[in-house]
């Protein structure tokens, strides 16, 4: 899986819950949500476009920050 990092304009717990919901719907995603820094890091076999479209379903602005190298 690739690790992708996205910026999502989350301001509260409700926002991060919305992100969790849409990602769960995609299925099989493993992800971390960093609410204070408004970042979502996703381990996925889906391509970036699919992930970005999915994140945008929350109604928040989202953008792709880049690939995160596995540490």
Contact 55, 22 (CB under 8 A): yes
Residue (of 60, 21, 25, 53) closest to 39 by Cα position? 60
User: Which domains occur in the chain, in start order?
Assistant: 2-68 (3.30.70.100)
> What is the sign, positive or negative, of the torsion defined by CA atoms of 21, 49, 30, 39?
negative
- Are 55 and 40 in contact by the 8 Å Cβ rule? The answer is yes
The one-digit pLDDT tens for each residue of the chain (71 residues) are 789 999 999 999 999 999 999 999 998 779 999 999 999 999 998 999 999 999 999 999 999 999 977 55
């Amino acid at each position: 899986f690739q690790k992708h990092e996205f910026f999502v304009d989350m301001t509260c717990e409700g926002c991060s819950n919305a992100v969790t919901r849409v990602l769960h719907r995609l299925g099989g995603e493993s992800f971390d949500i960093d609410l204070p820094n408004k970042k979502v890091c996703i381990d996925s076999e889906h391509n970036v476009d699919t992930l970005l479209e999915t994140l945008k379903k929350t109604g928040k602005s989202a953008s792709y920050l880049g690939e995160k190298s596995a540490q």
